[in-house]
Structure 1
């Protein structure tokens, strides 16, 4: 399939035009654009501009409010609950992380749970906000129910990503950003666009059998938890996904489990919601609340350097530090541009025509 290469600037300008066209204030359009572009720059193509038309379709269904009144509805000195007013999660989650950071500046740590939001892009964007303040960042979100718990063939959990980001000194931050499912749904969407099979262990069909068809979710199948099956630790992935669901939604008052509204616009939200919208959970911890920052960074660098030099089974390979592939992708794409498969590029041009904004090309 044909790949197109676009500069960061051209994709940024195009994405901003789309967000402005659906009614976002300029500052929100800039922020939402930045979250999506960071995904594309870091090589997380499933969560970048390829998602743009999905947000627009939800806006057309009046499930996204582009001018939300984001507000704190419950608060203590170190914690808060935020109502996102059906806003773009790309805007709501940074609001919540800023609040967590401000609390951490005063009290050492800050924890914010969010309800009534939508898909918030890559979790790493929000966690890295804390890193820039010499803090450890934590972000997670629940998501559309696509994952079957261990032993089940019923979709009850989302891919429910979680991200920890740790500042370092001379080295780049360590960023542990992962879905708690065997694979993110976006990877299935990429396989669908390219006509590729997916690896065994990612999904099961509606009878619970292993499948390599990326379209399985459309015909009643389910994603599997991280670990794929009980023999390979799927109960651990299921447990992590459950923890994300509880912290993001039960704690905040968002929908949880099978009641989480779907990201796709052609499916209606459940008729019997148990909360409001999608939920997130964000946290920030000051490093100097535990030890002097200089000491911490020295040992963080030592940790990174030692793991980077670990002996490997294959001498041609090396141990990868979490976040390193994304950092390398960003350096390369800032120089050479961001690739989009033809299906995504065509989709964006159709979106431009619908919204009467300048096409991407």
Structure 2
């Protein structure tokens, strides 16, 4: 099934309005989700809507949050998201970081008491639009086992770095610090497919290709999969995200991070508030003239794109390039939805009394 961007945007915004979000917040949350679907990151787009609604029904998401700064210096701040949608809280935090960077060269903001914030790239790109380098990361529900363990201790803990360029699009490094994002497992489940070896282990710590293994006590693996292939590096990156996002802000960290799925209750002995994010913005002209930097970025991109390929039919891909190609195609030709997601959204519409999906 294929749906136009405008139709999916209208549907999604109506769902957020039905949850009690303000029109401004509903539009912003929709914008974050739609960018994921447009850029081909289907695991973090409207497929997540049912999850947000379930958390709202459990009163774990506040649709009308009072987002506020609770600690501040000229270049840093800590924000309490009042249990709001991370899709709204994180852009608020990034705007604070950008405003600080405009005055002082850089801005760094930690966030507590938030929820799942969609794709990290959305927030980092806000800085790029201002000729800044953007950073965004978040901790997440504990699904990943540290190297040498079979206990879930960390989330997929994504991090994103976004760099402006000149004639080329921004270079966007947006990735999970696990071997695969949980959304990839969900996609495999919907399609009835197995996953590659090295993504997930069973309860005993053995590799498995079963995408349902998390439901039987398994865990995702850190980036690198095992010690011989560098999983300690993925573990280290994930730990960095957890500490900056949560230990620094006062959010829950490690195994105490509240689960995204509504049927699992948060820990009864939390160490903080909600989940945490960390965002930052640095003015390029704090280091050198913007036009010079962008010219060198264009040269960097051009040289890497021309790197000698192993296979002449497979050129080197610049970070963010596949997502941009997907965005260009989907804005023109529509956004594909698998049947399982479309059916879930239709059920959601009936539950909330919202008009269903309208396909072209």
TM-score by length of 1: 0.99
Partner of 2:347: 350
How far is 1:177 from its partner? Answer: 0.1
Alignment equivalent of 2:92, drawn from 81, 92, 95:
95
Q: 2:213 aligned with 1:216, yes or no?
A: yes
Alignment equivalent of 1:181, drawn from 178, 181, 189:
178
Partner of 1:12: 9
CA–CA separation in structure 2 for the residues paired with 1:22 and 1:315: 51
Question: Where in structure 2 are the equivalents of 1:115-264 lying within 5 Å?
Answer: 115-264=112-261
Kindly provide the CA deviation profile for residues 37-79 of structure 1, in whole angstroms up to 9, marking residues without a partner as x. Answer: 0000000000000000100000000000000000000000000
CA–CA separation in structure 1 for the residues paired with 2:355 and 2:315: 44
How far is 1:352 from its partner? Answer: 0.2
How far is 1:170 from its partner? Answer: 0.4
TM-score by length of 2: 0.99
CA–CA separation in structure 2 for the residues paired with 1:35 and 1:321: 23
Question: Where in structure 2 are the equivalents of 1:98-109 lying within 5 Å?
Answer: 98-109=95-106
Partner of 2:20: 23
Kindly provide the CA deviation profile for residues 187-215 of structure 1, in whole angstroms up to 9, marking residues without a partner as x. Answer: 00000000000000000000000000000
Question: Where in structure 2 are the equivalents of 1:70-89 lying within 5 Å?
Answer: 70-89=67-86
Q: How many residues align?
A: 358
CA–CA separation in structure 1 for the residues paired with 2:131 and 2:348: 40
Q: 2:325 aligned with 1:341, yes or no?
A: no
3-state SS in 2 of match to 1:333: helix
Partner of 2:309: 312
CA–CA separation in structure 2 for the residues paired with 1:360 and 1:317: 37
CA–CA separation in structure 2 for the residues paired with 1:153 and 1:200: 16
CA–CA separation in structure 2 for the residues paired with 1:338 and 1:226: 29
3-state SS in 2 of match to 1:27: helix
3-state SS in 2 of match to 1:299: helix
Partner of 1:285: 282
Partner of 1:33: 30
CA RMSD of aligned residues (A): 0.3
Kindly provide the CA deviation profile for residues 130-164 of structure 1, in whole angstroms up to 9, marking residues without a partner as x. Answer: 00000000000000000000000000000000000
4+ residue segments displaced more than 3 Å: none
Gaps of 5+ in 2: none
CA–CA separation in structure 2 for the residues paired with 1:21 and 1:144: 26
CA–CA separation in structure 2 for the residues paired with 1:188 and 1:84: 29
3-state SS in 1 of match to 2:69: strand
Q: 2:263 aligned with 1:270, yes or no?
A: no
CA–CA separation in structure 1 for the residues paired with 2:293 and 2:31: 30
CA–CA separation in structure 1 for the residues paired with 2:294 and 2:92: 27
How far is 1:16 from its partner? Answer: 0.3
Kindly provide the CA deviation profile for residues 197-235 of structure 1, in whole angstroms up to 9, marking residues without a partner as x. Answer: 000000000000000000000000000000000000000
CA–CA separation in structure 1 for the residues paired with 2:350 and 2:314: 46
CA–CA separation in structure 1 for the residues paired with 2:279 and 2:215: 31
How far is 1:278 from its partner? Answer: 0.3
CA–CA separation in structure 2 for the residues paired with 1:72 and 1:319: 43
CA–CA separation in structure 1 for the residues paired with 2:215 and 2:62: 27
Question: Where in structure 2 are the equivalents of 1:316-327 lying within 5 Å?
Answer: 316-327=313-324
Q: 2:293 aligned with 1:296, yes or no?
A: yes
